[in-house]
Chain A
């Protein structure tokens, strides 16, 4: 048994004593090249697509320039899976192991994670590998071009899901009952006096075909998989596969500050209490901690980004100090980043963290705006709405099978980037194969409809 395995066992005992609760975790040391691929794909084995190749090269360049270092990646599930970079030192790995336990506890108990884990069956790593294999088979069967065409569209709409619906979601009901005005209604009274009008009063209510969609639909991946007129079954399956992975990614995205902060809080706490560590190893591990959990501004006067590890860590420390560990456990179960930041990032903490709001003008100049706590919170959260994507909803399918998408620009505050929208429309048209229209507004705020087909 290696030194790390020994430490890991004792760290786990310590974690259990503090009430951390998680599914067993399979640790595996992997080469850093593999770590990099996990970072690029988001999953150890994921479907092939050329866009990952582009991200891979970016990552490779960043890595070569020494800009990024990955210590670990954890995948929730039962069992959870943790990959540790093979070039971590023993001290780093000790810290990372404690960090992983924090993540594992979060993944088992946070309600968003719990829900998504139930949906994907606690085995997203295996599911994603299955998707990758199935898509590989589809390439064999239908050719790279056809499969890529579907993936181009499905992955472009990756963020356009409705995580609050079920993963296995029923189609819309086929019929709805027609409504009739109540008896006493003035219109109905006059209608009944018309020749033959009264006869209708007691006639059974007609059933009407549900319009598709009955109301604007935000789960575009599901909508296309179920209702696109021309897709073959294997193509629909690709949309479903991408959607399933998005269901897994959603809580990771929506709880990033909380989750990283929680894991950092626990690695710090467990290490502080790990009296079995030799003193110098403890110090080295502590140094790794301060390298990871620190404001981006450590070396410069001010940084234009915030480090979610640091922000989350400071918030959790304050919560435990003020309300106790029990309350912290409750918060990690119930909150997501929105409620977490809004409820717990106080004016005092913001001052302690030296947070400020800035504005970058179109000429590139950056000026500090203010320290207003409400504005700070909302600015931190702004990029997290709606899975980070503009609110684009499926509005209507025409009699000819044409699709109309509508961008809710009022909520988003401005229109879509039209160049990109045009290209996404190209992807989409290749799978919908009937006319596709996307409504948004242009730079002047005037309605603008893009169309294909």
Chain B
């Protein structure tokens, strides 16, 4: 006999390491991470391209192909030869031409044969998108708005388990054992719990007004662009700031305030009188959100086609708004425009920007530009602003 072969017997019924750990699953998860990262890099295009606005608490499903780890390979030959087995005479036709467009999905074991669906949480998407973005010109308002919050303060011998401070408790035990001999390692007296105390802290509060032109001149595409922009701004701001008031205003020849959910559904008919939206904003600010206490932001989306007669009224209202707002942004949905930001409304905002320095304009022409606009408004440096 050439040595002794044998069966490896694992004593007992203990499970083997390979029962507990799948390397295949580990590498599959790593693959998914890479897909996720790749999707993340293209996220702005992906989210803007989707036809429907997802619900804020939902997930979006992105169909993706498996990544292929490429090898060097010869190009596909015009025709491939192979050896088969069975009954076949020269000239026999074993398979008909495949239908054009049918693909080679039948086999399913070629690269890219399977697709899978990546589920992305809106929350995660927003986190990725908003990683480095923030509200411009945010200030601690002198009105000294205070907010109550609990902070850790000191230790107590009693408390709930979740507040047990192990490190501190261990120290107490060590101290005690240093002076006692033959003492038990731990006693109840050693335990220390973190105490919480209510503290009032100054905070920054902000109100953001979203105003949208829903008049007939806004095309379906224009509205979708504006709503996509607003949607992701709202999601992002919510993630970034805990204390934030959001106000939604839509206007045609008059302006109305809407609850958030309705705002994203609203559509209207009629002409465009932009000043109504600005007046409405000023009115709400005066009633509910004192600019002395609240950082105030306004984002206005329109196709820029305002009634000529409204020019002076709009300019005046805008100037008033610019007097107290931290920042005013104008988004021009110009899906059909030849030249972006060449409208009268755009000119109004240009003037405002020149006067206050705290305003900006951005054209939304394609779904991809939604993300550019968000970046343009929210990655502004604070120092760029004259106070």
Interface residues of A, Cβ cutoff 8 Å to B: 2, 4-5, 8, 12, 16, 21-31, 33-34, 36-37, 40-41, 45-46, 48-54, 56-62, 79, 144, 152, 155-160, 295-297, 300-307, 353-371, 376, 379-380, 382, 389-390, 392, 407, 412-421, 423-424, 427, 443
Q: Are B70 and A366 in contact (CB under 8 A)?
A: no
Chain B 19-50 interface mask (CB, 8 Å, partner A; 1/0)? 10011111111111010000000000000000
B77-85, B210-218, B264-272, B288-296: which one contacts chain A?
A: B77-85
Q: A54-B67, A363-B97 are in contact. Are A62 and B109 (CB under 8 A)?
A: yes
**A59–B109 alpha-carbon span in the complex (Å):** 9
**A228–B66 alpha-carbon span in the complex (Å):** 31
**A36–B18 alpha-carbon span in the complex (Å):** 11
Determine if B74 is an interface residue (Cβ-Cβ < 8 Å): yes
Q: A22-B2, A368-B94 are in contact. Are A156 and B79 (CB under 8 A)?
A: no
**A21–B84 alpha-carbon span in the complex (Å):** 34
Q: Which residues of B contact A36 (CB under 8 A)?
A: 24
Output the least CB separation between B17 and chain A (Å): 9
**A302–B82 alpha-carbon span in the complex (Å):** 13
Q: Which residues of A contact B3 (CB under 8 A)?
A: 23-24, 79
Q: Which residue of B lies closest to A307 (CB)?
A: B85
Determine if B182 is an interface residue (Cβ-Cβ < 8 Å): no
Total contacts A to B, CB within 8 angstroms?
255
Q: Are A53 and B81 in contact (CB under 8 A)?
A: no
Q: A26-B8, A40-B24, A48-B23 are in contact. Are A389 and B72 (CB under 8 A)?
A: yes
Q: Are A443 and B85 in contact (CB under 8 A)?
A: no
Determine if B13 is an interface residue (Cβ-Cβ < 8 Å): no
Q: A365-B96, A369-B81 are in contact. Are A56 and B67 (CB under 8 A)?
A: no
Determine if B5 is an interface residue (Cβ-Cβ < 8 Å): yes
Q: Which residue of A lies closest to B84 (CB)?
A: A304
Q: Are A296 and B85 in contact (CB under 8 A)?
A: yes
Q: Which residues of B contact A305 (CB under 8 A)?
A: 82, 84-85
Q: Are B81 and A28 in contact (CB under 8 A)?
A: no
**A367–B24 alpha-carbon span in the complex (Å):** 39
Q: Are B26 and A48 in contact (CB under 8 A)?
A: yes
Q: Are B27 and A49 in contact (CB under 8 A)?
A: yes
Q: Which residues of A contact B98 (CB under 8 A)?
A: 363-365
Q: A53-B27, A53-B28, A56-B24 are in contact. Are A359 and B80 (CB under 8 A)?
A: yes
Output the least CB separation between B74 and chain A (Å): 5
Determine if B92 is an interface residue (Cβ-Cβ < 8 Å): yes
Residue of B80, B81, B96, B114 near A58 (CB, 8 A) is B114
Q: A24-B2, A40-B24, A160-B72 are in contact. List 6 more A-B contacts (CB 8 A).
A: A34-B18, A53-B27, A297-B86, A356-B85, A370-B90, A415-B75
Residue of B8, B28, B91 near A368 (CB, 8 A) is B91
Q: Which residues of A contact B113 (CB under 8 A)?
A: 58
A/B interface sample: 20 pairs, CB < 8 A: A16-B1, A28-B7, A30-B16, A37-B24, A48-B23, A49-B27, A51-B27, A53-B30, A54-B28, A156-B69, A156-B70, A295-B85, A301-B87, A302-B87, A306-B85, A355-B84, A364-B104, A379-B81, A414-B75, A415-B75
Q: Which residue of B lies closest to A305 (CB)?
A: B84
Q: Which residue of B lies closest to A362 (CB)?
A: B78
Q: Which residue of A lies closest to B15 (CB)?
A: A31
Output the least CB separation between B1 and chain A (Å): 6
Residue of B29, B71, B84 near A159 (CB, 8 A) is B71
Output the least CB separation between B204 and chain A (Å): 37
Determine if B76 is an interface residue (Cβ-Cβ < 8 Å): yes
Q: Which residues of B contact A359 (CB under 8 A)?
A: 79-81
Q: A16-B1, A366-B94, A380-B83 are in contact. Are A56 and B28 (CB under 8 A)?
A: yes
**A270–B67 alpha-carbon span in the complex (Å):** 45
Select the residue from B70, B83, B113 with max chain A CB neighbours within 10 A.
B83
Determine if B88 is an interface residue (Cβ-Cβ < 8 Å): yes
Q: Which residues of A contact B142 (CB under 8 A)?
A: none
Q: Which residues of B contact A61 (CB under 8 A)?
A: 108, 114
Chief secondary structure at chain A's binding surface: mixed
Determine if B308 is an interface residue (Cβ-Cβ < 8 Å): no
Q: Are B72 and A392 in contact (CB under 8 A)?
A: yes
Q: Are A302 and B86 in contact (CB under 8 A)?
A: yes
Q: A50-B30, A57-B28, A363-B97 are in contact. Are A356 and B2 (CB under 8 A)?
A: no
Output the least CB separation between A138 and chain B (Å): 15
Output the least CB separation between A259 and chain B (Å): 19
Beta-carbon contacts under 8 Å, B96-129 to A: 96-98, 104, 108-109, 113-114
**A256–B4 alpha-carbon span in the complex (Å):** 27
Determine if B154 is an interface residue (Cβ-Cβ < 8 Å): no
Output the least CB separation between B211 and chain A (Å): 44
Q: Are B66 and A54 in contact (CB under 8 A)?
A: yes
Q: Are A367 and B91 in contact (CB under 8 A)?
A: yes
Q: Which residues of B contact A34 (CB under 8 A)?
A: 18-19
**A51–B67 alpha-carbon span in the complex (Å):** 8
Q: Are B2 and A23 in contact (CB under 8 A)?
A: yes
Determine if B89 is an interface residue (Cβ-Cβ < 8 Å): yes
Q: Which residues of B contact A297 (CB under 8 A)?
A: 84-86
**A24–B30 alpha-carbon span in the complex (Å):** 38
Q: A368-B89, A390-B72, A424-B72 are in contact. Are A31 and B109 (CB under 8 A)?
A: no
**A53–B92 alpha-carbon span in the complex (Å):** 40
Q: Are A369 and B73 in contact (CB under 8 A)?
A: no
Q: Are A50 and B97 in contact (CB under 8 A)?
A: no
Q: Are A390 and B78 in contact (CB under 8 A)?
A: no
Output the least CB separation between B63 and chain A (Å): 15
**A21–B82 alpha-carbon span in the complex (Å):** 36
Q: Which residues of B contact A79 (CB under 8 A)?
A: 3, 5
Output the least CB separation between B237 and chain A (Å): 32
Q: A296-B85, A414-B74 are in contact. Are A50 and B90 (CB under 8 A)?
A: no
Q: Are A155 and B85 in contact (CB under 8 A)?
A: no
Q: Which residue of B lies closest to A27 (CB)?
A: B7
Q: Which residues of B contact A382 (CB under 8 A)?
A: 81
**A158–B34 alpha-carbon span in the complex (Å):** 22
Determine if B178 is an interface residue (Cβ-Cβ < 8 Å): no
**A159–B70 alpha-carbon span in the complex (Å):** 12
Determine if B6 is an interface residue (Cβ-Cβ < 8 Å): yes
Output the least CB separation between A307 and chain B (Å): 8
Determine if B95 is an interface residue (Cβ-Cβ < 8 Å): yes
Q: A8-B7, A33-B22, A57-B114 are in contact. Are A354 and B1 (CB under 8 A)?
A: no
Determine if B55 is an interface residue (Cβ-Cβ < 8 Å): no
Select the residue from A53, A366, A371 with max chain B CB neighbours within 10 A.
A53
Beta-carbon contacts under 8 Å, B197-256 to A: none
Determine if B161 is an interface residue (Cβ-Cβ < 8 Å): no
**A417–B22 alpha-carbon span in the complex (Å):** 34
Q: A56-B27, A355-B83, A368-B92 are in contact. Are A424 and B71 (CB under 8 A)?
A: yes
**A240–B142 alpha-carbon span in the complex (Å):** 66
> Which 7 pairs show the lowest CB-CB distances between chains A and B?
A302-B86, A56-B24, A53-B27, A364-B98, A51-B69, A53-B28, A24-B3
**A369–B47 alpha-carbon span in the complex (Å):** 52
Residue of B31, B32, B72, B83 near A357 (CB, 8 A) is B83
Q: Which residue of B lies closest to A426 (CB)?
A: B70
Residue of B30, B66, B68, B86 near A48 (CB, 8 A) is B30
